[in-house]
């Protein structure tokens, strides 16, 4: 293999990125999704902790009251048990609903809607020892290992700091009033969560930057690959036919500009579309589209019409219908006669006045 094939110096083309997306290859950070799920779950727990604690306490009281009467384990007992735990399920509902929603949203935010079965197909090249060794010692594997070690080190330092103050934490819990014990524990949970989530969020952001940079590097192309892609795409008969048709249509529209000066009227959008019409009694059964254009061609048609004294009438709905429904040198269809009749009455009235 030549050096030109090995040196991937060219940026990936949109076609290559689209093909990679069809195979499920996108820049996605699993750490970012996990971090968002943890942040949302911690926030939900912090907000719903009092309700969850009250639900657990109430359920425990009801279960103890039921157990004291030595009930028979039958359908009525199961129904009472489910009824006793209903408040707990209601308190846990925000957590149960929020986690799947944020997990899906985090992935959609990174990759957008995507569905592919390509990763599920068997790939026997992964069974090759050389491929496995290369994957183990790849830059991505080394990055994952280093990331885990750094996160474990920082989290271990946070745990060490809490253990260092363990005596103070124990004293505060022991001296707290029983009614305020839940608030003390909730404050400790919030403090610990903030430190841990800051570390996880920072690691997730760094991981996202690395993943995007690594994906961009892997998607780079050599000059030979770029040339092969251009040849492959240009060789597609459907693409060539469509391109040829577009060129012919553009040339036909440009050639039709010469007939604008002989038109009866130019119907405009007023800026996006312009359609020139010509009607001669006895020659055609209906007005004929002599020229039409959008964008720059529309501006050119209006310019020629203004110089030639051809009336320019604004009718957005009719202009769009004529542009999309009529070809050049084609007669206006019958369903547009009603919309076109007032315009020609106006033109003929102007001619009579002159």
**Which tens digits make up the pLDDT trace of 106-152?**
888 887 777 766 666 666 566 666 666 666 666 677 777 777 788 78
With pLDDT > 70 as the criterion, what percentage of the chain qualifies? 80
Q: How far apart are CA 111 and CA 29, in angstroms?
A: 10
Q: How far apart are CA 2 and CA 113, in angstroms?
A: 39
Q: State residue 2's pLDDT score.
A: 43
Burial class (CB in 10 A: 0-12, 13-18, 19+), 33: buried
CA-based max dimension of the chain: 108
277 near 289, Cβ under 8 Å? yes
pLDDT band at 254 (very low <50, low <70, confident <90, very high): confident
Q: Which superfamily does 242-353 belong to?
A: secretion proteins EscU (3.40.1690.10)
Q: State residue 164's pLDDT score.
A: 78
Q: Please identify which residue in the block is written with the tokens 């192309």.
A: 221
The pLDDT tens digits of the residues spanning 39-51 come to: 888 888 888 888 8
What's the mean pLDDT when you consider all of the chain? 78
Q: How far apart are CA 271 and CA 287, in angstroms?
A: 22
For the chain, which residues make up each domain, given as ranges?
13-114+155-229, 242-353
Q: State residue 1's pLDDT score.
A: 41
294 near 288, Cβ under 8 Å? no
Token pair in block for residue 147: 């990331």
For residue 30, pLDDT beyond 70: yes
Nearest 10 degrees: Cα torsion 145, 146, 147, 149: 90
Alpha helices in the chain, H assignment, sequence order: 3-6, 14-22, 30-68, 75-84, 86-111, 129-136, 139-164, 166-175, 181-218, 223-234, 237-255, 296-308, 316-325, 337-353
For residue 3, pLDDT beyond 50: no
Which of 71 and 270 is assigned the larger pLDDT? 270
User: Half-sphere exposure of 93 toward its Cβ, with a 13 Å CA cutoff?
Assistant: 8
For residue 76, pLDDT beyond 70: no
Q: State residue 5's pLDDT score.
A: 44
Q: State residue 147's pLDDT score.
A: 76
Nearest 10 degrees: Cα torsion 213, 218, 224, 227: -70
Q: Which of 154-168, 173-187, 339-353 has the lowest mean pLDDT?
A: 173-187
Q: How far apart are CA 300 and CA 274, in angstroms?
A: 9
Cα distances from 17 to residues 143, 215, 221, 261, in angstroms, run: 23, 10, 11, 48
């Amino acid at each position: 293999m030549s050096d030109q094939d090995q040196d991937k110096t060219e940026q990936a083309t949109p076609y290559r990125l689209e093909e990679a997306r069809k195979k499920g290859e996108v820049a996605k950070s699993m750490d970012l999704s996990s971090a968002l799920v943890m942040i949302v779950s911690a926030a939900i727990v912090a907000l719903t902790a009092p309700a969850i604690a009250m639900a657990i306490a109430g359920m425990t009281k009801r279960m103890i009251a039921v157990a004291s009467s030595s009930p028979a384990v039958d359908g009525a007992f199961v129904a009472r048990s489910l009824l006793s735990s209903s408040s707990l399920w209601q308190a846990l509902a925000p957590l149960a609903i929020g986690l799947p929603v944020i997990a899906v949203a985090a992935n959609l935010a990174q990759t957008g809607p995507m569905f592919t079965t390509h990763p599920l197909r068997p790939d026997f090249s992964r069974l090759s020892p050389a491929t496995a060794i290369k994957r183990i010692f790849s830059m991505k594997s080394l990055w994952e290992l280093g990331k885990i070690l750094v996160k474990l080190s920082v989290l271990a330092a946070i745990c060490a700091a809490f253990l260092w103050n363990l005596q103070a934490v124990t004293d505060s819990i022991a001296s707290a009033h029983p009614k305020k014990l839940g608030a003390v524990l909730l404050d400790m949970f919030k403090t610990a969560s903030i430190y841990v989530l800051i570390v996880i969020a920072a690691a997730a952001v760094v991981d996202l930057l690395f993943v995007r940079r690594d994906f961009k590097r892997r998607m780079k192309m050599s000059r030979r690959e770029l040339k092969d892609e251009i040849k492959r795409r240009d060789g597609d008969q459907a693409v060539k036919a469509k391109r040829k048709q577009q060129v012919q249509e553009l040339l036909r529209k440009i050639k039709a500009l010469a007939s604008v000066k002989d038109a009866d009227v130019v119907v405009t959008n007023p800026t996006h579309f312009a359609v020139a019409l010509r009607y001669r009694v006895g020659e055609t059964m209906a007005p004929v589209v002599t020229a039409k254009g959008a964008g720059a061609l529309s501006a050119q048609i209006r310019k020629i019409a203004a110089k030639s004294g051809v009336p320019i009438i604004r009718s957005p709905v009719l202009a769009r219908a004529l542009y999309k429904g009529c070809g050049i040198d084609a007669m206006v269809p019958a369903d547009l006669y009603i919309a076109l009749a007032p315009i020609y009455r106006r033109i003929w009235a102007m001619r009579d006045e002159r």
